[in-house]
Amino acid sequence: MKKLHTTTATTTLALLLLLVLLAATSLRVAMAGSAFCDSKCGVRCSKASRHDDCLKYCGICCAECNCVPSGTAGNKDECPCYRDKTTGHGARTRPKCP
C-alpha cells in the first residue's frame, strides 16, 4: 500500500511540475510583443526620453487596441482606443499610451 501512495505522489508532483513549465512558457510568449506592435512602437518611441517606458506602455496599448498612431507623437485620433486608455481614476487619471 505504501508503494502505491509513493507512486501516486510522484505522478502528481511530475504533473504539477509539467503544468508550471507550460504556464511559464505561455507567459513568456504572451509577454513577447508581436512583430506588428514591436515595429510600430519602435517608431512611436524612437524619440522618447524614457525609451524603455515608452516601449513598455506602447506595447501594452498596441496589444489591447491592435493599432498605434503614426509618428513619434500626436496623431492619436488615428486610433481612438489607444487615445482613450487612461491610468487611475478621478483626479489622478492620466493617458496610459504614449
* 6 pLDDT more than 70: no
Domain spans, the chain: 1-32, 34-98
pTM over 0.75: no
35-76 residue pLDDT tens = 999 999 999 999 999 999 999 999 999 999 999 999 999 999
> Averaged over 74-81, what is the pLDDT?
94
Q: Contact 68/41 with Cβ under 8 angstroms?
A: yes
Angle, vertex CA 46, rays to CA 41 and CA 51, nearest 5:
85
> In this predicted model, which residue has the larger pLDDT, 4 or 59?
59
Alpha-carbon gap, residue 11 to 44, rounded angstroms: 50
* 27 pLDDT more than 60: no
